[in-house]
């Protein structure tokens, strides 16, 4: 007579780099979920509909319905998953290393991604690609220097952490905007190592239920 | 014969809203520190100097030297302070409430502040004020709706949290760009309540060692 416990519901868009971060976390932790695709370009952007704004007033994906609440903002969601489903962990145990992971994550989430976000680029007209390239390159220049201090096999040491969940989607965006990655050997090396892991592959934009047929892997 | 333990060193700029967040955290937790002012406009921006880039390759304040490491990115610094100096706490104990605090913090730190950051505005020319106003208003519209669900006396319930450390500096920036705050009664109410607290007053941009004389309170 028990009601089945509902699976978490992820509001997602195949190409959203912020949502991809959360998809990787869910995959790493083995959390089954139902996807609810929100097309950010169709119909002028389905995230702007009154129905979706009732889900997330921030008019963005990702949003995650889980444990009776609806959460938004990718890093906040990932921290919640880490606190409530700690295995396998994606934050190190040592507070200084945790700080490094959060620092790299925030550098990408606040320092790079917002400047090349769809809603900003839409206002840039002709300068769109140039603006995206400069924002990403400038951020990657700093990131490369930081990773040279913190990295092992991955961004911080040899364990996959939240920083890695931010790195791979940001490199994907850099590729979209044809950013020259030659000056960033550490970023390239880590990105390559991460893309060999199953959680990064199944969550990839080319393998989502809402991926258009011509972009499917 | 013991060497004195060095106080934490905060690289700061009186008007930097991201640094103000950290100054409030330090004040709330009663952590004494030495300020190292970095003038973001003088000399073309002192954060761009090779000397400062050796401290923080991200070329931004805040940066905090503490416990033998140098940390940057405001929320990562605040989370580190919370983990290593937990009293008084600025994250709630309940994971869902912690998620709400982080969600609001990230909405401001990734969704609003980066779009009205100095380095972005410098590229906007004539459109500078209009761009800043639109970015902040759009973010505040969502924030007002979220706070109507989460707020008590402060952003999340009745305890001061990391979300409040983000709110007050962002409202200060809104004032600078003459954003009309009439549509956001919850934001205005919480901001007013927070500004009555000593930690928000002593950390205020008008009361810093590098505040220019004509802007001193």
Least confident of B3-7, B12-16, B149-153: B3-7
| Closest to B103 (Cα-Cα) out of B161, B174, B173 | B161
Q: Do A106 and B75 touch (CB under 8 A)?
A: yes
Q: Is A183 helix (H, G, I), strand (E, B) or coil?
A: coil
Q: Are residues B192 and B162 in the same domain?
A: yes
Search chain B and give the residue with CA nearest A67.
B96
In a domain, B142, yes or no: yes
Mutation site for B-interface testing, chosen from A78, A114, A117 by largest number of B Cβ within 10 Å: A114
| Residue linked to tokens 């952490």 | A161
> How far is the C-alpha of A21 from the C-alpha of A18, rounded, in Å?
5
Q: Are residues A161 and A71 in the same domain?
A: no
Query: For position B1, what pLDDT does the model report?
Result: 47
3-state helix, strand, coil in chain A (%, to 5): 55, 10, 35
Q: Are residues B99 and B194 in the same domain?
A: yes
Q: Is A157 helix (H, G, I), strand (E, B) or coil?
A: strand
Q: Which of A87, A106, A139 is the last residue of a domain?
A: A87
Q: Do B96 and A69 touch (CB under 8 A)?
A: yes
Token pair of A121 as six digits: 């680029």
Chain A residues closer than 8 Å to B72 by CB: 103, 107
Q: Are residues A110 and A57 in the same domain?
A: no
Q: Where are the beta strands (DSSP E) in chain A?
A: 9-12, 34-37, 63-66, 69-72
Q: If residue A44 lies in a helix (H) or strand (E), which one and from where to where? A: none
Q: Do A102 and B73 touch (CB under 8 A)?
A: yes
| Closest to A119 (Cα-Cα) out of B111, B121, B171 | B111
Q: Are residues B41 and B107 in the same domain?
A: no
Nearest-Cα distance to chain B for A99, in Å, is: 6
**How far is residue B194 CA from its own chain's centroid?**
13
| Closest to B171 (Cα-Cα) out of B194, B149, B151 | B194
Peptide bond into A88 cis (omega under 30): yes
pLDDT along chain A (217 residues), means of 10: 76 97 98 96 89 91 96 98 98 98 98 86 83 94 96 98 98 96 98 98 97 93
Q: Are residues A118 and A65 in the same domain?
A: no
CATH number of the CATH domain containing B142: 1.20.1050.10
Chain A residues closer than 8 Å to B124 by CB: none
Q: Do B58 and A115 touch (CB under 8 A)?
A: no
φ, ψ for residue A216 (rounded to 5)?
-70, 140
Q: Are residues B48 and B143 in the same domain?
A: no
Q: Are residues A193 and A115 in the same domain?
A: yes
In a domain, B123, yes or no: yes
Q: Are residues A103 and A185 in the same domain?
A: yes
Domain extent at residue B15: 9-87
Does residue B4 have a pLDDT over 70?
no
Residues of A with CB under 8 A from a CB of B: 57-60, 67, 69, 71-77, 79-80, 83-84, 95-96, 98-99, 102-103, 105-107, 109-111, 113-115, 120, 141-142, 145-146
- pLDDT top residue among A125 and B166: B166
Counting one residue from chain A and one from chain B, the pairs whose CB atoms sit within 8 A come to 107
Q: Are residues A104 and A196 in the same domain?
A: yes
Search chain A and give the residue with CA nearest B85.
A95
Q: What is the mean pLDDT of residues B80-103?
A: 98
Q: Are residues A71 and A111 in the same domain?
A: no
Chain B residues closer than 8 Å to A99 by CB: 69, 71, 76-77, 79-80
CATH number of the CATH domain containing A14: 3.40.30.10
In a domain, B135, yes or no: yes
In a domain, A102, yes or no: yes
In a domain, B209, yes or no: no
> How far is the C-alpha of B208 from the C-alpha of B217, rounded, in Å?
9
In a domain, B211, yes or no: no
Chain A residues closer than 8 Å to B148 by CB: none
Q: Do A111 and B114 touch (CB under 8 A)?
A: yes
DSSP B154-212: SSSBTS--HHHHHHHHHHHHHHHTT---TT-HHHHHHHHHHHTSHHHHHTSGGGSTTS-
Query: For position A122, what pLDDT does the model report?
Result: 79
Distances (CA, A) of B118 to B15, B44, B138: 11, 12, 18
Query: For position A150, what pLDDT does the model report?
Result: 97
Q: Are residues A102 and A196 in the same domain?
A: yes
Search chain B and give the residue with CA nearest A110.
B110
> How far is the C-alpha of B92 from the C-alpha of B20, rounded, in Å?
21
Token pair of A181 as six digits: 């990655």
- pLDDT top residue among B54 and A99: A99
Q: How many domains does chain B have?
A: 2
């Amino acid at each position: 007579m028990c009601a089945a416990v509902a699976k978490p519901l992820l509001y997602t868009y195949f190409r959203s780099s912020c949502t991809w971060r959360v998809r990787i976390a869910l995959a790493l932790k083995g959390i089954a979920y139902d996807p609810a695709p929100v097309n950010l370009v169709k119909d002028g952007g389905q995230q702007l509909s009154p129905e979706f704004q009732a889900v997330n007033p921030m008019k963005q994906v990702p949003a995650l319905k889980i444990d009776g609440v609806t959460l938004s903002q990718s890093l906040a969601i990932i921290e919640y998953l880490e606190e409530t489903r700690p295995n396998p962990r994606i934050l190190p145990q040592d507070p200084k290393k945790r700080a490094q992971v959060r620092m790299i994550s925030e550098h990408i989430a606040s320092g790079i991604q917002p400047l090349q976000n769809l809603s900003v680029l839409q206002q840039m007209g002709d300068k769109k690609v140039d603006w995206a390239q400069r924002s990403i390159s400038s951020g990657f220049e700093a990131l490369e220097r930081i990773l040279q201090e913190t990295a092992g096999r991955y961004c911080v040491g040899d364990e996959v952490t939240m920083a890695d969940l931010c790195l791979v989607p940001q490199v994907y965006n850099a590729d979209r905007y044809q950013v020259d990655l030659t000056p960033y050997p550490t970023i390239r090396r880590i990105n390559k190592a991460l893309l060999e892991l199953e959680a990064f592959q199944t969550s990839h934009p080319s393998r989502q239920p809402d991926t258009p047929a011509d972009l499917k892997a």
